[in-house]
Chain A
Amino acid sequence: MGTVLTAKNLSYAYDGETAVEGLRFEVVSGDYLCIIGENGSGKSTLLKGLLRLKQPSAGELLFEDGLKPNEIGYLPQQTSAQKDFPASCFEVVLSGFCGQRGILPFYTARQKRAARENMERLDCANLSRRGYRDLSGGQQQRILLARALCATKRLLLLDEPMAGLDPLVTQDLYKQIADINRDLGLTIIMVSHDVKTAMQYAKTILHLKKEQLFFGATQTYLESDVGKQFFGGAA
């Protein structure tokens, strides 16, 4: 199994103020990494870095065998502007292919078919013609996940995917993400503060608090001091 990305002494800063520093970790292909930590611990900053929306202030972030941005899938947190955006679900899902089209104006029949397949995989094919703004939060998240699947075959980044969803929907979505990881062999990196459930699914944990407190297998984390302390507090 190859590595997907390697962080070497990686740091990020806003206007000279360090957000997170000294990160050393690597993500292997097929991994399910969960990045945890309290608010302001640098999770979101690191995610921006991984998406290459933000440049490191020190250190290096290496993508193996030239993983390009248009091979990455991303499930962002929803913005308020999207909540009343007039678009059909199919339009939203299909837009996941946008980065792969280069300058070409329209989507191919194959991409449309793939978009439908991704919606079927996530049990949301029936929503295809519905308006995105008329859906429940859980349904919207599923549509955005289908869009992320269109954008990638290798690496999927998720930013607090369960924020604001009710427990049943959350469980369902976790299962589906685990299925994607297992069946499609997609590498998953998830930022979450729902530590308890994350532990059930994640293979690897990266715990941040302005710096790297822990990086390693989930089981090791649960037995470590950091893990016991954080998990004890959260549970």
Chain B
Amino acid sequence: MIADIWTTIVEMLDYTFIQRALVVGLLVSVCASLLGVSLVLKRYAMIGEGLSHVGFGSLAIATALNAAPLQVSIPIVVLAAFLLLRISENGKIKGDAAIAIISSSSLAIGVVVVSQTTGMNTDVCNYLFGSILAMSRSDVYLSVALAIVVLTLFVVFYQKIFAVTFDENFAKATGVKTSFYSMVVAFLTAITITLGMRMMGALLISSLVVFPALSSMRICKKFRSVTICAAIISVLCFVIGVIMSYFYVIPTGASVVLVNIAVFVLFWILRFLSVQSKKRANKKKEVIS
């Protein structure tokens, strides 16, 4: 039985498109989960959702213009990220409403562009829900290079990102350039989302940002362990998701999200049980004393 599964996995790894998907997917998973910790804690998780919809619009436009998809999408999504961040920081317009407006507008633009050019065919479906066949060789090179940039900047700015995430006002008052570091996080998120979007799908990519962070927060207490644990969870979920999608012939993006949901529920139950047992222990102590 296990030998069977093993031979199937080896067979699966023979396909070039799966190799590409694994390389890009693993890098994107790590980047997304690291950034996700900060985004979730800052209540900015919806920015990821908004950006992926902008990504959909820009992908549609890139295809219509017959241009390279990543090269067109990345600058547009980065711009949208700065815009969304500005709106979320400036309390006058409600941040969540602004994100809703921007996401639905980009979806609408994308759908119109696609219907006018290639028609509402499998392309749309692939953009929305992802396709494991999406990555070309040059996409892989670009993705690897950008992912390395994201990871390096994250490590270099890690302490600043922590300080700004934990207490933006304190950081700002004590001389940290908080708006610069928020921009860095938004910029890195935009790149990560665009890279992962075509494989995971515009509607599903933000789960890579949110789920690992939420799961690891259930069981870890330190910020550093939350961050590291999120990256590990994200990588494992991605690999299991890809294998599952191969075995059961289901779309990769959705399969990865399902694994993430399962892990989240599992960790949530673990946390619930540990809190309960702590409560019981405390009660016992009270009774004894």
A72 to B172, CA, bound (A): 11
B159 adjacent to chain A (CB < 8 Å): yes
Contact B169 A91 (CB under 8 A): no
> Contacts of A71 on B, CB cut-off 8 Å?
175
> Contacts of A88 on B, CB cut-off 8 Å?
221-224
A76 to B171, CA, bound (A): 11
A151 adjacent to chain B (CB < 8 Å): yes
Contact B167 A91 (CB under 8 A): no
Do A107 and B159 form a contact, CB below 8 Å, given A95-B166, A131-B221, A134-B221?
yes
* Interface pick from B2-10, B47-55, B104-112, B150-158: B150-158
A87 to B226, CA, bound (A): 8
B229, closest chain A residue (CB) = A86
A101 adjacent to chain B (CB < 8 Å): yes
Contact A68 B175 (CB under 8 A): yes
Give me the interface of A with B, judged by CB distance under 8 Å. 51-53, 68-74, 76, 79, 81-82, 85-88, 91-92, 95-96, 98-101, 105-107, 130-131, 133-134, 147-148, 151-152, 157
- 10 further A-B pairs in the complex, CB-CB below 8 A; given A72-B173, A99-B174, A151-B174: A87-B223, A91-B223, A92-B166, A95-B167, A98-B163, A98-B171, A100-B175, A101-B160, A105-B155, A151-B170
> Contacts of B156 on A, CB cut-off 8 Å?
105
Which 8 residue pairs are nearest across A and B when measured between Cβ atoms? A70-B175, A131-B221, A99-B175, A69-B175, A99-B174, A98-B163, A51-B173, A88-B222
A91, closest chain B residue (CB) = B223
Contact A81 B43 (CB under 8 A): yes
Distance to closest chain B CB from A214 (angstroms): 26
A72 to B169, CA, bound (A): 13
B43, closest chain A residue (CB) = A81
Contact B162 A85 (CB under 8 A): no
Contact A74 B170 (CB under 8 A): yes
B220 adjacent to chain A (CB < 8 Å): yes
Contact B162 A82 (CB under 8 A): no
B176 adjacent to chain A (CB < 8 Å): yes
B37, closest chain A residue (CB) = A86
A151 to B162, CA, bound (A): 15
Contact B169 A86 (CB under 8 A): no
Main secondary structure of the interface of B (DSSP, over half): helix
Chosen A-B contacts, 9 in total, with CB atoms closer than 8 Å, are A69-B173, A69-B175, A70-B174, A74-B173, A76-B167, A86-B221, A99-B176, A101-B159, A106-B159
B197 adjacent to chain A (CB < 8 Å): no
> Contacts of A74 on B, CB cut-off 8 Å?
169-170, 173-174
Interface residues of B in 211-237 (CB under 8 A from A): 217, 220-224, 226
B41 adjacent to chain A (CB < 8 Å): yes
Contact A105 B169 (CB under 8 A): no
Q: Mark B154-192, 1 if CB is under 8 A from A, else 0.
A: 011111101100110111111110000000000000000
> Contacts of A130 on B, CB cut-off 8 Å?
221
A86 to B37, CA, bound (A): 10
Contact A53 B166 (CB under 8 A): no
Q: Mark B34-59, 1 if CB is under 8 A from A, else 0.
A: 00000001110000000000000000
Cβ 8 A contact of A105, one of B158, B172, B226: B158
Contact B223 A98 (CB under 8 A): no
> Contacts of A73 on B, CB cut-off 8 Å?
174
> Contacts of B163 on A, CB cut-off 8 Å?
95, 98
A107 to B163, CA, bound (A): 12
B213, closest chain A residue (CB) = A86
Contact B174 A131 (CB under 8 A): no
Cβ 8 A contact of A87, one of B43, B176, B222: B222
B216, closest chain A residue (CB) = A86
A51 to B173, CA, bound (A): 5
> Contacts of A131 on B, CB cut-off 8 Å?
221-222
